[in-house]
Every structure is written in C-alpha cells, then in structure tokens.
C-alpha cells in the first residue's frame, strides 16, 4: 500500500501509511496524520499542542470481496487561540458515520442498479446502513424547498434501478421545480409530503396526477379544496395500455395464422398517433390492414385517436360536450376495454375537465 493508492482507491490524501493487518476476513489499513499538518478544527490555527489521539475505524470500499477498514488515530489538539481541546478534522469521512465518503459513494453507485438488500448483502453491512446512506443522499440533493408558495402541483412516480425501486415526485407546476421526493410509490410515499404541506399552510389549487385510485384518494383526503387534473399524458398512457391488452386478447383468440401475423406486427402502430405514422415504412397501410381484419380493434383505435381531440376543444363547454359524446360512443361500442375506459373517465370526470 502506498499513499498514492490510498488516494486513488479511497480518496484519502495527506496521511502516512503505517501498516496492513488481515483479521477475521477483513483487510485493515492503519494510517497516521503527521503532527505538522494538524490544525484547530474550529479556527484553522496551527498554534496547537498535542493532546493524544482518538482511534477511529472507518469502513471503506472493499478490496476483492473482503471488508476493508481504515484505522486512524485522530490527533487531539489544544488550540492556543480558542483555548479548547478538539479532534482535528477528518476530510474523508463524516464524523458521525462509521464509514468513509468513498464507501458511501460506492454504496450509492450500487444502489442505482440493485435493491437496498442486495447492496447490503454485497457489502456485508446491515440494511439500515444502506437505507441511511440513500436517505442522506436524497436529502442532500433535494434540500427541502419551501412549500408555502405552492399552488399547482403534479404528482408522479418514476422507476429507478431497473424497476426495483420507485420514487414519488411532486413537482411545482408553476416553476417546474421538484417540491418533494418520496420513497416508494402510492399513497404511503406521499404521507411525509402532506405533513410538510399542512405545516407550510400552502393553498393548493390544482393537482395533476395519474389516474391511480391510490393517489386520487390521497389527494381528495389531504387536499379537499384542490381540483384534481388528470393530465393528457396519463390518460393516453392508460388508454394505450388498454389497447395493447385488447390486441393481445385478439391475438390469442385469432384462429387464422395470417391474422395472428398481422396483429403481431401492429403493437407500436396502434400506440402511435395517427399523424406520427411513417409513410415511407408503409406504417399507414400496415395499420389499415390490421384494423380491417378486426372490427373491435378498429373501433378502439379510432376512439383512442378521437379522445386526443378532448384537449383541443376551445373551452370547458365544448370540452364537456365532447367528453360526454365520447363516453356515450365508448359505452355503446360493445367492446369491453372501451366501456371500462368510459367508466374510468366518467367517474373522475371533473378531474378531466379541470384541464380547462
């Protein structure tokens, strides 16, 4: 071990390497701080007297699957300026944690790809430690913004770590800033947000969110005055999911091999907006062929394209008329997924119309 390896592997600079021990499957590096580099941690003064050491062990990035520790006798010094005895600063680790900053960064790096449990097992530490590291990182990155000025918010969830973890995000729609980040998804993830919001006395006028009943319920309980808006993106996303489900069912039931083949190739075409179809790749013709084969798919597709017009109406009156008409057509289509969609849109209708 050399001082430059200490720096490059663990981010530890300005110390002398003393020795390496191998104990109980752990690799332990002992390092030392030269007395000439010691300063008062409060005033930065070099007018100090040595007052012994406090031995500290910090877990750092493992080497070859072995837990690796750094042991440092932290010098205690009496400052001539302050007249107080203190430990000198340790730049490579938080004084209240049992691990180095390099270990923390490594755990966060792994957390982007693995669950908390996986990271804990891989690093041979407790679940709580990894959870704590993640929470501290989050609060550092999203230092609590003031909520008092919030008027219009959007609530959404995002999947991270390849879908192993979820975060619930609250956005300030006026500024675009992140107002809150909650761990997990659903109503539970929002609990701390409602608490902070109550404390802030903010008056929320509108909430945009996806159509999951969990969020809807949470918002109507915690924000009885606010209008709930289901935004276009989330409504169309839900519709596209229903449409894919219908296509899959038709594909399963199709007896004819040709029919199966045609349906198979249309998945993305169905989800695309009509004006987005690529003429050169013959997408329009392909879609037409599939729709001609199956009437319910055709009706569902055209009603999907039609629903997009809802957001283009000149005002609330037209929006209401349009939506009522759409819901009627969907209900009378005799197609299950459309009837279901109609019920979903009819139930929180005020939510859709709040767009206007």
Min dist. Cβ of residue 81 to Zn ion (A): 5
Token pair 């050169």: residue = 280
Q: Which is nearer to Zn ion, 44 or 265 (CB)?
A: 44
Torsion of CA 102, 103, 108, 109, to 10 degrees: 70
**By CB under 5 A, residue 51 contacts Zn ion:** no
**By CB under 5 A, residue 46 contacts Zn ion:** no
What is the end-to-end Cα distance of the chain in Å, rounded?
67
CA 170 centroid distance within chain: 11
**By CB under 5 A, residue 77 contacts Zn ion:** no
Residue among 81, 174, 245, 282 that touches Zn ion (CB under 5 A): 81
Q: Which residues contact residue 260 at a Cβ distance below 8 angstroms, ignoring those fewer than 6 apart?
A: 251, 254
* Paired tokens of 8: 């490059």
Distance CA 218, CA 188 (A): 9
**By CB under 5 A, residue 85 contacts Zn ion:** no
Token pair 């809150």: residue = 180
* φ, ψ for residue 209, nearest 5 deg: -160, 170
22: left (phi over 0), alpha (psi -120 to 50) or beta: beta
* Paired tokens of 128: 């709580």
Q: Which is nearer to Zn ion, 77 or 147 (CB)?
A: 77
Contact call for residues 297 and 290 (beta carbons, < 8 A): yes
The H or E element spanning position 9 is helix 3-10
Residue among 40, 207, 208, 338 that touches Zn ion (CB under 5 A): 40
The H or E element spanning position 96 is none
Residue among 28, 67, 74, 82 that touches Zn ion (CB under 5 A): 82
Residue among 79, 110, 171, 271 that touches Zn ion (CB under 5 A): 79
Min dist. Cβ of residue 85 to Zn ion (A): 10
Min dist. Cβ of residue 204 to Zn ion (A): 49
Q: Which is nearer to Zn ion, 79 or 211 (CB)?
A: 79
**By CB under 5 A, residue 45 contacts Zn ion:** yes
Q: Which stretch binds Zn ion (CB under 5 A): 42-50, 53-61, 106-114, 148-156?
A: 42-50
Q: Which is nearer to Zn ion, 4 or 50 (CB)?
A: 50
Residue among 3, 26, 43, 98 that touches Zn ion (CB under 5 A): 43
Count of residues in contact with Zn ion, rule CB under 5 A: 7
Min dist. Cβ of residue 31 to Zn ion (A): 24
Q: Which stretch binds Zn ion (CB under 5 A): 5-13, 76-84, 145-153, 339-347?
A: 76-84
Contact call for residues 32 and 18 (beta carbons, < 8 A): yes
Using CB under 5 A as the criterion, which residues of the chain lie in contact with Zn ion when the complex forms?
Answer: 40, 42-43, 45, 79, 81-82
């Amino acid at each position: 071990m050399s001082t430059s390896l200490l720096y490059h592997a663990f981010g530890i600079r300005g110390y002398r390497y003393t020795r390496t021990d191998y104990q109980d499957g752990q690799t332990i590096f002992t390092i030392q701080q030269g007395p000439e580099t010691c300063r008062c941690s409060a005033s930065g003064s070099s007018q100090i007297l040595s007052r012994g050491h406090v031995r500290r062990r910090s877990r750092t990035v493992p080497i070859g699957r072995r837990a690796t520790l750094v042991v440092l006798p932290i010098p205690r010094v009496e400052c001539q300026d302050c007249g107080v005895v203190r430990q000198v600063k340790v730049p490579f680790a938080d004084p209240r944690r049992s691990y180095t900053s390099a270990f923390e960064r490594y755990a966060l790096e792994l957390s982007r790809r693995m669950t908390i449990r996986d990271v804990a097992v891989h690093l041979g530490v407790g679940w709580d430690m990894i959870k704590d590291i993640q929470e501290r990182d989050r609060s550092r990155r999203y230092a609590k913004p003031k909520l008092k000025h919030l008027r219009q918010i959007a609530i959404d969830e995002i999947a991270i770590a390849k879908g192993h973890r979820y975060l619930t995000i609250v956005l300030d729609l006026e500024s675009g800033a992140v107002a809150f980040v909650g761990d997990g998804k659903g109503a539970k993830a929002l609990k701390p947000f409602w608490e902070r919001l109550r404390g802030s006395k903010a008056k929320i006028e509108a909430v945009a969110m996806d159509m999951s009943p969990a969020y809807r319920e949470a918002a109507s309980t915690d924000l009885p005055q606010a209008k709930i808006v289901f935004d276009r993106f989330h409504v169309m996303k839900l519709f596209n999911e229903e449409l894919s489900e219908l296509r899959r069912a038709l594909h399963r039931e199709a007896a004819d091999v040709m029919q199966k083949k045609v349906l198979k190739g249309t998945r993305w075409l169905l989800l695309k907006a009509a004006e987005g179809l690529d003429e050169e790749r013959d997408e329009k013709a392909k879609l037409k062929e599939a729709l001609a084969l199956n009437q319910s798919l055709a009706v569902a597709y055209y009603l999907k394209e039609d629903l997009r017009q809802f957001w283009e109406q000149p005002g609330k009156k037209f929006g209401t008329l349009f939506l009522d008409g759409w819901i009627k057509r969907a209900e009378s289509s005799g197609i299950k997924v459309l009837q279901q969609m109609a019920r979903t849109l009819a139930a929180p209708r005020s939510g859709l119309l709040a767009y206007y």
